[in-house]
Amino acid sequence: MEINDKKISVNKSNKAELKIIREFAESGDDCLVVMLNLNTYNDGAGFPNGSPYQDYTNALEGLLLSVGGRIIFRSESLGQGVGEQDIDEILAAGYPSHQAFLDLPDDLGARENSSFRKICVKSALIRRFNGVLP
């Protein structure tokens, strides 16, 4: 498990939330879902133009495509009007279903993506919301 300088896992899943996602996937009402990633990168990642960061995003794009997902939005964070969280990038990843999100760890590209993620991602907050846009 990768740990950042504050001793917080960057890859620690929220077991209660994963249970909700599994229940939704098995409910028969599974639908589009978007995961909003608020990422902070290690200096060694070279965000936004460095080779490690580029390797990470290329692996991520391939991994998402393999489960039918895609990056919907990606932007460097320009600051924040409220709060004190240090965020480098905001990334929205769309999935055709909750099950597709759950399938990520079993995909052939997951190991490669995980190794790049450990190099690049200092911390991440990932929020789930429905994929229905107004």
Residues across the chain:
134
pTM of the model: 0.85
Name the packing angle between helices 51-66 and 110-120 (round to 10°).
150
- Domains identified in the chain and CATH numbers: 31-129 (3.30.70.100)
Segment 6-28, tens digit of pLDDT: 444 455 678 889 999 999 999 99
pLDDT at 13: 73
Neighbour tally for 17: CB within 10 Å: 12
pLDDT at 4: 43
Segment 73-109, tens digit of pLDDT: 999 999 888 988 889 999 999 999 999 999 999 998 9
State which amino acid sits at residue 58. Answer: N
pLDDT at 134: 59
State which amino acid sits at residue 113. Answer: N
Gap between the Cα atoms of 29 and 48, Å rounded: 38
Gap between the Cα atoms of 17 and 72, Å rounded: 22
